[in-house]
Amino acid sequence: MERAHEDLQKILDQADVAWQDGDTNLAIQCYDKALKMVQLEENSQTEGEILLGKGFALMSLHKYEDALLMFQESKKIAMRFENRAQIQFVENLISEAQSKSRCGGSSSQNDQEASSKDAVNDSIQRSFARNFVHKELVVMVMSDETESLDKAFNVQIMTALKTLHVACEYFDVSNNESLEQAFKKEFDLKTLPILFVGGKSLGDREEVAELAKQEKLKDAILSALPETICEEEKKQLFAAVDPCETSENCTSKHKERLLRMVFHVSQKVCSRPHPPSYDEDLIQYFEKCQNITIQGIVNSFIQEISQLLGNFPLPVDLLKQAPTPVKIVEFIEEHCPAQGDCQKCPSKMNCKIHEENSTDVVDIEDFGKPH
């Protein structure tokens, strides 16, 4: 079962890479493979999320009617689980796809003449931004790469939300500049992060940070909730559980987070446009970088991985012992004194891998990826 989950995650990561490289058709092929896997396992909730990802990919190809079918199937799944926020989110997407379809879709010559590819993509991304803020009751959109000040606000606001145990959907757009701009244009923002409650902004980052500082953030969130939210739902909103409070949950997520970290750091230290694949030799991956010595890249890579893991000791010849991302994860897990049990981890307080929404470990995600 665990192997099947890893295979599924690998395919979804491949879809992300294809999307970032502009190969939307390959991304759709990956989503199709993933759909077959979850359908065999009867994993309906994951199926609904993958359908959303494929729907957005189809939208970017102007195949609005096909995208509409994906969104409608995703809505059926959300209704089955009585997920009201998800239902509203998908209904908005359905309306958007229907509107695009009525205008002629990709087959309309007038549509193609009236809009450039960039304009259409901007419209789709702004549509995603407009609908994503309704995905959950509380949504935080952030960017970790533009300014150090952004990161400071990220940490301050996220810390306040976690202290309040708020069930929040975090979305980092730092890997996608066009999507970051789409959020800013759609909501007339100059800076990130921004906190949305019930689909509406709670204020700019300075205002939210001030609410947190004065311990008024909870009251502000409650006041901004839609009137249809009952008392029980309000209680649940402030009852989020840290996934690492249970060793079993943390162990199941540990490998996935480690892989994301290795992907992110690999890409970061040599400024490549896309991360390595699961089984790609990292030395060969780094050799494609320009104006940087291989040894310098390797040293930076090992040092940053060690720091993110709470100064976890790593050998200087790590890439000889573990040449690929998967092998590095296996090496870390094999030599970790906690053996996957977070409660026994000596560096838990400093290890970024334990943080569900750490801004230091950036997911390789784009707006086509289901959340």
pLDDT at 227 over 50: yes
How far is Cα 132 from Cα 141, in angstroms, rounded to an integer?
Answer: 10
User: For 44-48, what is the mean pLDDT?
Assistant: 84
pLDDT at 28 over 60: yes
Q: Is 332 left (phi over 0), alpha (psi -120 to 50) or beta?
A: alpha
Q: Which residue has the higher pLDDT, 224 or 344?
A: 224
Q: Does the pLDDT at position 96 exceed 60?
A: yes
- Among the three residues 176, 210, 242, which one is the final residue of a domain in this structure? 242
- Which long-range CB contacts under 8 A does 90-95 form with residues at least 24 apart? 90/52, 92/130, 92/131, 92/134, 93/52, 93/55, 93/127, 93/131, 94/68
141 residue type, one letter: V
Q: Which two tokens stand for residue 301?
A: 């890579």
Domain harbouring 64, CATH code: 1.25.40.10
Amino acid at residue number 305: I
Highest mean pLDDT among 92-101, 198-207, 251-260: 198-207
What angle separates helix 44-60 from helix 64-80, to the nearest 10 degrees? 160
Both 223 and 261 in one domain: the answer is no
Q: Is the pLDDT of residue 360 over 50?
A: no
Residue 249 pLDDT greater than 80, yes or no: no
- Same-domain pairing of 92 and 134: no
Query: Whole-angstrom Cα distance, residue 129 to residue 133?
Result: 7
Could you tell me the two tokens for 153?
């606000």
Residue 112: its pLDDT value, please? 47
> DSSP class of residue 343?
G
Model-wide pTM > 0.75: no
Query: Is residue 367 one of the residues assigned to a domain?
Result: no
Q: Is 368 a domain residue? A: no
Looking at residue 282, what is its pLDDT?
A: 93
13-22, 109-118, 249-258: which range is least confident on average?
Answer: 109-118
The answer to whether the CB of 202 falls within 8 A of the CB of 190 is no
Residues 174 and 88 occupy one common structural domain = no
Going by C-alpha positions, the residue among 75, 55, 73 that lies closest to residue 65 is: 55
Question: Are 302 and 340 within one domain?
Answer: yes
10 and 79 belong to one structural domain: yes
- In a shared domain, residues 140 and 228: yes
> Is the pLDDT assigned to residue 238 strictly greater than 90?
yes
Distances (CA, A) of 122 to 49, 60, 177, 185: 22, 10, 11, 10
pLDDT recorded at residue 140: 92
Each residue's pLDDT tens digit, 198-221: 989 998 899 999 999 999 999 999
Q: Provide the number of structural domains found in the chain.
A: 3
Q: Are residues 111 and 126 in the same domain?
A: no
Has residue 364 been placed in a domain?
no
pLDDT of residue 182: 86
The answer to whether the beta carbons of residues 45 and 81 sit under 8 Å apart is yes
Q: Residue 369 domain-assigned?
A: no
State CA 140 to chain mean position distance.
12
Residues 144-183 have pLDDT tens digits of 654 566 778 888 898 899 899 999 988 878 767 778 888 8
Top pLDDT among 8 and 345 is at 8
In Å, what is the CA distance from 71 to each residue of 138, 304, 366? 22, 40, 18
Task: For residue 59, give the 3-state DSSP assignment.
Answer: helix
pLDDT digits (tens, 9 = 90+) for 97-107: 888 787 754 44
For residue 119, pLDDT over 70 is answered with no
Of residues 277 and 43, more confidence is placed in 277
Domain that holds residue 120: 116-242
pLDDT at 127 over 70: yes
238 shares a domain with 177: yes
pLDDT of 250 > 50? The answer is no
Residue 363 lies in a domain: no
Look at residues 56, 84, 115 and tell me which one is the last residue of a structural domain: 115
Q: Say what the pLDDT of residue 271 is.
A: 77
The CATH number given to whatever domain includes residue 145 is 3.40.30.10
Model confidence over 293-341: pLDDT tens digits?
A: 888 899 999 998 988 887 788 999 999 999 999 999 889 888 876 665 5
Which residues lie below 8 Å from residue 48, measured CB to CB, with a gap of 6+?
Answer: 73, 74, 77, 78, 86, 370
Q: What value does the mean pLDDT take over residues 249-274?
A: 74
Residue 70 lies in a domain: yes
Say whether pLDDT at 84 is over 80. Answer: no
Question: Of 108-112, 167-171, 207-211, 245-249, where does the model show the most confidence?
Answer: 207-211
In this structure, of 25-29, 124-128, 130-134, 325-329, the range with the lowest mean pLDDT score is 124-128
Q: Is 89 or 252 the better-scoring residue by pLDDT?
A: 89
More confident residue, 175 or 224: 224
pLDDT at 264: 83
Residue 135 shares a structural domain with residue 229: yes
Report the C-alpha gap between 191 and 207 in whole angstroms.
12
